Amino acid sequence: MNENILKYIKNEKDIARYKISLLDKRTNKSYKYRLLSIERDFVEYPFEKLNLKDLDELKDAMSLFKTDRKQFEQKFAKDIVSKTKIISKEQIKILQNKIKYYEDLYIYLLDFKIKEINLLQNEYIKSKFKKANKDISSIGIDSLSEMEGVHLSKKRARIQVLIYCLSRFIYHKIQDIKNAFDLDDISFVSYEKIRKEVDNLFIDIKYKIFKHYNDGINEVPLLINGTLGHNNFVNTIYPLINLMDKHPGNYSIKRLLSKDIDFFDENNSPINKKFIQRGLGIVTPMKRVGNESIKLLYLDLWTKNGISINVIMNKEFFNHMVGDDYFKTIPTMPVWTFNEVIDNKFLLREVLSLLSLDEASLVDEIDFDDPLVLNKINTMNKGRIFICPELSKIFIAATRSESEHIKESCVWIDLLIKEIKDDYKNIFDPTTLKNKERADRMIRVRELNG
């Protein structure tokens, strides 16, 4: 590869590193982590190993790398880099230390952090104490609990339950990663997959943290009993309600868009308007009442055939009119994005049936370049994906006031997650020499300590 191409690669990666530094400073917008992942992948990718004839072809390759990874691999890489690039022992060590970081973290959250949510050790709880001028440093556990009152005890309880949820989330994510891969015999492709999962562990955490909320109400008292975090009111917190139990019915994904409105225009392009993006979804039996704000806290949906459909679902309610009433409705992702998220042929088969494309059941993806396919999607109406109520969960707060209390508790948990992400970044971020040296030092310390 000639010198001009190597120089161009270096310059573009320097620019990518600069973009990473800017993105790190942004607030936690939904698109931030996707852009960070793209730029970090760009910095790590060995473009030097590609068989490119000139600078123009390199520019094309780099552009495609950021916009369509699948097309990039097919056109330029063809798995050559993935099969030949060797993972160094140092890279494996860093990855193992990242995993160990989270293993230590979920233990710390349950053994220490959850117990520190009390009037003596937590500044947030202190700030909510109405008798802030009273000296409580020498008061015993029972007197402390009695003094703080029911209202503050319940605030503490919700935070403690959410810390439990966060720890359980981290534990299961790390266990899934460890069970899926053998770090002693790992390919470049597997290494990259693990690295991305570990580095982006908290993506979509706000849609996943409530999975173990009801378990937390039962188990947190056992963890904090007899400690400064002791709380007699954890068991009084309302458990989350499964909407499918509260409002039984035949839940299914179906067309929500009016028959006279298309998903794609005459040029075969998606009509990118919000109500068309929400053109498919599940209308629940729960009616909208006034201007209440009912938040979808956790979603886990399975079809009658036992297929998970979470990847194609949006994770928020909107109000959809049926007849003269509005009902709480969960939309899918925009139909034209399905190929980006569908991860197995069983789910693809369900989606093809929904879109009236059953005859294409042997294909690997939906051909959105085919006008006949788009026409069928535009006119589809009778297709359904039926949801299994025994396997599925749609969690909401038990009451409107409880929803507000949970929302307040989430503010504190968001700050805790930010603190964890900042700490992780300070230890492992490879974009600066200082952090790289720090990670190296940590590796050497771990090796000396066995």
- In the chain, what are the domain boundaries? 3-84, 89-239+403-448, 243-396
In this predicted structure, the answer to whether residue 431 has a pLDDT above a threshold of 80 is no
Average pLDDT over residues 416-445: 72
Q: pLDDT-derived band of residue 332, with 50, 70 and 90 as boundaries?
A: very high
In this predicted structure, the answer to whether residue 25 has a pLDDT above a threshold of 60 is yes
Cross-strand partners of 303: 387
> Among 97, 90, 218, 128, which Cα is nearest to 165's?
218
Range in 181-185, 225-229, 279-283 the model is least confident about: 181-185
Name, of 4-18, 24-38, 303-317, 435-449, the range with top average pLDDT. Answer: 303-317
Return all residues near 297 (Cβ < 8 A) that are at least 6 apart: 210, 213, 240, 395, 396, 397, 406
Q: pLDDT-derived band of residue 87, with 50, 70 and 90 as boundaries?
A: confident
Question: How high is the pLDDT of residue 450?
Answer: 46
pLDDT tens sequence across 259-309 = 999 999 999 999 999 999 999 999 999 988 765 678 999 999 999 999 999
Buried/exposed code over 165-185 (b: 16+ C-beta within 10 A; e: otherwise)? bbbbbbbebbeebeeebebee
In this predicted structure, the answer to whether residue 442 has a pLDDT above a threshold of 90 is no
Enter the DSSP assignment of 137.
T
**More confidently predicted of 443 and 244:** 244
Integer-rounded Cα radius of gyration of the chain: 25
> Among 342, 282, 351, which Cα is nearest to 317's?
282
* Phi-psi group of 62: left, alpha or beta (phi > 0 → left; psi -120 to 50 → alpha; rest → beta): alpha
User: What is the distance between the alpha carbons of residues 188 and 191, in angstroms, rounded to a whole number?
Assistant: 5
pLDDT-above-70 percentage for the chain:
85
Helix (H) or strand (E) run with residue 318 in it: strand 318-322
Query: Which pTM was predicted?
Result: 0.77
Range in 21-25, 92-96, 189-193, 298-302 the model is least confident about: 21-25
Question: How high is the pLDDT of residue 32?
Answer: 64
User: What is the distance between the alpha carbons of residues 425 and 334, in angstroms, rounded to a whole number?
Assistant: 33
pLDDT-above-90 percentage for the chain:
51
